[in-house]
Structure 1
Amino acid sequence: SILGTTSLRVEDLEHFEVTPEEVSFLVGELSKMIPAIKGERFTRAYAGVRPLVQAAGVRDDREISRGFALIDHGRCDGLTGLITITGGKLMTYRLMAERTADFICARLGLHVPCITHAQPLPGAGRGHTLKDRLLRLRHQIPAARGELLCDCELVPREAVDAILREGKVRELQDILHRTRLAKGTCQGGFCVYRLLGVLNEMKKETGLGGSNRALKDFLEERWKGIRPVLWGTSMKEEELIESIYKGLFNLAPEETNPPNGGEP
């Protein structure tokens, strides 16, 4: 389940964070309807910034439309050829692209129907569930199961190898997003170092390599999401993960401290 959202104005688009106060507010509000939520374990907190188009006369941020606006600066500002599409959210991005493309094509005298809405995104046919992955592992003989990189999301090494063979991986996050590796309850604490080991083995073939820098960068980003929900059993697990990375991987505290304070 996903609990949210709050709505706050952000001054710095590049540097913002989820605060424990926001998490406490959300948990407190939901617990009025579902009291048991206070005893549940929270995996991480995350936030994003998006532009909202505020109409004249609207003062309350919650009343601002979550729609989008297509602005022709040729008509508004005398800047011919400049168009802005703004507002919206991830769910409406393809529709926004379609409206923008249709507008530009009409200006250029092109009248070809847009097919964006009918084209699946790359990899869209690879949907899966944990149940499906578990059944495959259950019915395979042990020797055929291969190496399991992520225990939480049941991601086998073969899934990572398949992505690497496509040659479209530029950074660690490309693999994490496409496999759900590091998206489970440990948030990558027990699997990302395995993935970096695989990347190091395949460095000659892929051009990517596992490194301490990549590991530190991942841990710093991971910490931003875990810190606001760190209590109870999550705190115990984080202490174990901390001992692994500081003890086994020799990542010094001063090197792993994120800029917003605290230690991973």
Structure 2
Amino acid sequence: MRDTAELTSRLRAAGCVFAEDEAALILSTARTAGEVQSMMTRRLAGEPLEHVLGWAEFRGLRLVVAPGVFVPRRRTEFLVDRAADGLVAGNVAVDLCCGCGAVAAALVAEVPGIEIHAADLDPAAVRCARTNLGQKGSVHRGDLDDALPSTLRGRVDVLVANTPYVPTAEIAHMPPEAREHEPGLALDGGTDGLDVQRRLAARARRWLAPGARVLVESSIDQSSTTARVFERHGLTAHVFTDEDTAVVVGHAG
């Protein structure tokens, strides 16, 4: 089965909005007719396209994404924009809750010469991040900053974290692709969605160099609360918005 029209028809019937594009991606990724069939079966069963393909495109990069790993969203490119602004070769950057390492990989591609570290609690995500960063950075496994080497304390110029920020009660309303195929720890931010951001704000300053920044992605509705959380922990907070996404930036004194 290598006919684009047939694949498109089947995908469209299953409710895939971008059926033609998906069919083309499956055909360009699969190496054999058997792989096409297998990938179609998985996609028609509701598995995320990126898991089916084994990769996701993010900021012009093709990143390995294994089944069960959080899929990087296009909106998170705005977080990369804000993090890269002012970052220069020789700076130290850290990507916490890194998932497949999308933000870290994008930062080191955009600002060559930085020292980049990434960390995540999910072992499958850590394996993907190590593949995606290769020799360009170090990937650690642990809860938030627990896995970071102590030698980074007071040296980090940019600490970025795409923490989970979906309120627990809202998980049930997410698309099945996310709630059934991505890890809950990458989605569930607690009662108001900000539990992990509060933990991050309480821990961030120990890692930051003077004048450094900590950045998180959030919804626009949550961003003012996140900014207040940052300020309670001694960070000067600013909110940047882009369409339906916000990035909260905390500056260390």
Could you tell me the TM-score, scaled by structure 1's length? 0.27
Q: Which has the higher helix share?
A: 1
Q: Which has the higher strand share?
A: 2
Where relative contact order (Cα < 8 A, 6+ residues apart) is larger, the structure is 1
Give the structure with higher Rg (CA). 1
